[in-house]
Structure formats: structure tokens, C-alpha cells
Amino acid sequence: MAILEVSGVNKRFGGLKALDDVNLQVAEGAVHAIIGPNGAGKSTLLNCFVGKLEPDEGSVIFNGTSLLGGIHPYQINQLGVVRVFQTPEIFADMTLLENVMIPAFAKRDGSFKLNMWRSVANRPEVNDEAEEMLVEVGLADQRHTISATLSRGDKRRLELAMCLMQHPKLLLLDEPTAGMSRADTNNTIDLLKRIGERGITKIIIEHDMHVVFSLAHKISVLAQGHVIAEGTPDEIKGNPKVQEAYLGGAQ
């Protein structure tokens, strides 16, 4: 069952055709990677999934609901599509615990609730879950630290924790290991593998092939806005079209 169906998506920016008849089907529970050389349109495609960009044509259907048509990012999130950013987006001025509790409240209370009365500390149902999550990602001992002081790798872990607090149905990872050291990258891969055991569907946009081949069940290769190949990691490794796109005259 495809949890995300992308059909016939086209997007032009002036004279440039950024997305050219993109078709994609992401199976539920799968880890689906989207790779491709620079400028292939990966980020543009992702932006169409999260309500930031509106394609000229085509449809993006998540679990039966269209993600197009001016729907706000927060509404898409409430549907269960959660995004991890290239540069970890966290609440820098707040403690780790607070960072993790906000998504939990968002999931519980919806996009807006005027709950001014009961104290945050007085919410065991959220507090406990938040603490557990921090333990799971290995950040529990820093729960009262301000998140701005974390290392890049730890910020990524925090961000993943925040996303998981929302029990996402679909996790969109935008170059999750960008700019990371080898050690941090491996840690992230391990963490993502552990999450994988929950059966969350993941779409990963990546450049680092090691990450892709460690995690992905299925890979779509994007070049010049078009899906030029699709298949399992083994199939993609040997695909001459893919090799040409990366090494050949593609730009």
C-alpha cells in the first residue's frame, strides 16, 4: 500500500523546469531514498511535500489526502507528515526537555489550544513520554541544558526525538547527515535504524551513499527533475543510467 503517491508533478521556475513529470510511490513502512546529483530537484520535490511549494501540475496524495492546494505546513504536520531539516531546526533558547515536550503538546492538543492554566510541569502524561524519548536517543542527562549549546550531532538527535514525539506516519529527512563527521554519521544511521523498528515510513534525501545503502529499501534517482531510475540498492548500484547521471555530462 502506497502511503505517499506522487503523480505527474511538474514545476517550472521561469525558464527552468525543476520538476519534470515526477512519479513516485512510497510504500508504507519502507525506507525510500531519493538521490541525485546537485540541482536534480530533490529539495524542490521535498518542498512540494510539505506545503512550501505548489507544483504547476500533478498530485501528491498522502494516505488519501492531497498535500497540495495551499494547505499550511502545520496542517500537513497534523496529518502525520513530519519533516527533519538539513540544518537541525530546534528551539535553541529552550531546554532539551522543553524541546521535546512541545511536539507532544502539538500532537495532543492540535494546532492551537489556549491552555494557560495548568503548569507544564504538572502534566505527567507528557513529561514521562518526553523523558523516555530523551533516554532513547541518549540525551537524557542533558535534559535541562539549553539546546543551543549542543553539538551538531546532538542537535540532530534532539530533532529526531522531537519528530518521534509526534508519532509520525511519514518522516521526511532532508540530508540528515549533511556536514557531519564520520562518527556522527554512523550514530545517526544507528539511530535511524532503531527508529525503523517502529515501522515508520521514511523518505530520505541524501548525498552520502553509505547512508543510503545502509538504510534504504528502495531508491529513486532524480536527475534534471525527472526520475531516471528506481529500484533496490543493488539494482541502483549497477545501473548505468545512474552512473552517467552522476559522473557524466549531467547538469
Applying CB under 8 A, the residues found at the interface with another protein are 50, 72-75, 77-78, 82-83, 85, 89-95, 98, 101-103, 105-107, 109-123, 144-146, 149, 162, 166
CA 74 to chain CA centroid, nearest Å: 15
- Smallest distance from another protein to CB 4, Å: 17
What would the grid cell of residue 97 be?
526537555
- Smallest distance from another protein to CB 207, Å: 22
CA 197 to chain CA centroid, nearest Å: 16
- Smallest distance from another protein to CB 129, Å: 14
How far is 73 from 111, CA to CA, in rounded Å? 11
Query: Cβ closer to another protein: 52 or 217?
Result: 52
Host H or E run for residue 4: strand 2-13
How far is 147 from 137, CA to CA, in rounded Å? 14
Answer yes or no: are the C-beta atoms of 171 and 203 closer than 8 Å. yes
Residue type, 191: L
- Smallest distance from another protein to CB 149, Å: 6
- Smallest distance from another protein to CB 103, Å: 5
What would the grid cell of residue 9 be?
508533478
End-to-end CA distance of the chain: 34
Query: Cβ closer to another protein: 74 or 244?
Result: 74
How far is 112 from 231, CA to CA, in rounded Å? 41
Query: Cβ closer to another protein: 19 or 102?
Result: 102
Query: Cβ closer to another protein: 172 or 229?
Result: 172
DSSP string, 54-98: --SEEEEEETTEE--SS--HHHHHHHTEEEE-SS----TTSBHHH
Query: Cβ closer to another protein: 34 or 97?
Result: 97
Query: Cβ closer to another protein: 42 or 107?
Result: 107
- Smallest distance from another protein to CB 217, Å: 25
